[in-house]
Structure 1
């Protein structure tokens, strides 16, 4: 019944308005266009009544607004969070690459060559992750990196260098644990860090070579460290990659086996074993195959 009344309300208001306007028109004509105060007041009242009737019978606006958070917004937020995690983990992985090649050089009795790679994590990368460490409630480890760097500069033969280096690597590992293990061990996530390491390694390797010679040993060593850690990272997820795409896994594994041959040792040779173009081609092929899993 209420629905019927609601639907008839606007029709009745329209009909009543027509009747009232006709009456007012008659009143004006009857008084020879000189309405008395009484008739004018009455007409005004009728107009007011008409307005009230129309307002009361006006259809109520329906709230059709959609929730502020849509599925598209939620997806965008998730992508933004993942990108932030990928950047964070890539920076920490680059630190690991620096420290790994430094460890190799120390083991070969080359502390002078190891020193720049011990300094790079704090000089080039730490400031990028420092706000992230605070947000993720990770203890700062700049003090640990600085202490190691100072020690290797002042006393490169000190037995404590190796233990301090291990402390620095452990600190980086703990910082990585701020990202949930399930996420870190996911091929779809880990391969993005893997690709980031290879991209940076390729750039550093190219920068190390000029006129067919390795002119920048530090860049050569940087790239070796990054590829070394990328290889370790892939080993941690290779079984999952193989399950999802055996073909992609086989291509990644075989091309990585070829790629690592560009760095025969931590100490740079006089001339590159592999031209930069070939290194870039191998990296591109590897990354194309990771897309089958991502």
Structure 2
């Protein structure tokens, strides 16, 4: 069984990297820094906005966190592959996955177009989208934690409280400093320690609210203009939906929800993505009514997949059906992004 994951986002100029999932179990690893002996010539800089989602988005196997690597675990059906890839770093080339016997040549051939050792440095809008998406993933985790606490299930809530600090914060920490946002890692750690030691303490819910407010404060470091720009928000929203899609796929096995934490995390990401869309829906409806209708309809259908924070006995939809809904939303969203880009070029 997959031990633990979180969702993070690496964004290139023309793509938002597909993310995957968090799962049950005790955390065993965190994001690894880039290996010192990776050739600096492999570093590239990407600026500006994104222009779509594709199945060929590349993941840097030297620097990707477990959740990014998790997509390969799902594709190849190899248990704990994320951890195996991480443990065998650094890689001088993607082919080292085979040389180091992490996967077979046959398995590598299935994912070779999706892996790289190239480091991506984000700037401009791409960096801002990456920043808000990571914070959005934190928010999704905490939303689920709050739901579980409201149901008096602190033990189930604890992993969702732990993942933001154990897995995501490290990837956004530099940006938090750059943007002069007050650090809130201490707040997250204190909350996690409290829920572990005194899960029934009334202070748990108060501290959780403080943690959510801290994440919102970090998001507020972005300009209001950007945070209310449909093109920008849709890119963040689609990153969250990519994450949810991967998580949901990892949660379902043999027609059942086999990993409750992954099910719950995917719910949290979709709920927050939907909240984000509500904030821009009137703007999208005014300028792109057809795209808005399609996004709204498919989002409503997508939300039905998670009727409760507690997994249903039988999944409402198959992973394939969820992927279809997410893909449709992304495609329609991209039409809005592209239209906005064209309009900006004309102005």
Deviations 1:37-86 (A, max 9, x none): xxxxxxxxxxxxxxxxxxxxxxxxxxxxxxxxxxxxxxx75453111000
Give the TM-score of the pair, scaled to structure 2.
Answer: 0.62
1:229 aligns with 2:237: no
The partner residue of 1:194 within 211, 230, 237 is 237
SS at match of 1:293: helix
Residues 3-152 of structure 1: matches in 2 within 5 Å?
Answer: 77-79=47-49, 80-152=123-195
The size of the alignment, in residue pairs, is 219
Residues 148-187 of structure 1: matches in 2 within 5 Å?
Answer: 148-187=191-230
8 Å Cα contact 2:47/2:126 also seen in 1: no
CA distance in 1, matches of 2:300, 2:177: 38
Deviations 1:200-236 (A, max 9, x none): 0000000001111111000000000000000000000
Distance 1:148 1:258, change over 3 A: same
Q: Which residue of 2 aligns with 1:48?
A: none
Deviations 1:165-203 (A, max 9, x none): 000000001100111010110001000000000000000
- RMSD, matched Cα: 1.0
CA distance in 1, matches of 2:312, 2:161: 21
* Between 265-274 and 107-116, the greater mean CA deviation after superposition: 265-274
Higher strand share: 2
The partner residue of 2:282 within 227, 236, 239 is 239
CA distance in 2, matches of 1:142, 1:270: 36
Q: Which residue of 1 aligns with 2:294?
A: 251
Distance 1:157 1:274, change over 3 A: same
8 Å Cα contact 2:291/2:336 also seen in 1: yes
Shift of 1:292: 1.5
Q: Which residue of 2 aligns with 1:18?
A: none
Unmatched runs of 5 consecutive residues or more in structure 1: 1-75
Give the TM-score of the pair, scaled to structure 1.
Answer: 0.73
Higher helix share: 1
8 Å Cα contact 2:267/2:306 also seen in 1: yes
Distance 1:269 1:230, change over 3 A: same
1:270 aligns with 2:270: no
CA distance in 2, matches of 1:185, 1:174: 15
Runs of 4+ in 1 over 6 A off after TM superposition: none
* Between 263-272 and 108-117, the greater mean CA deviation after superposition: 263-272
Larger Rg over CA atoms: 1
CA distance in 2, matches of 1:291, 1:193: 12
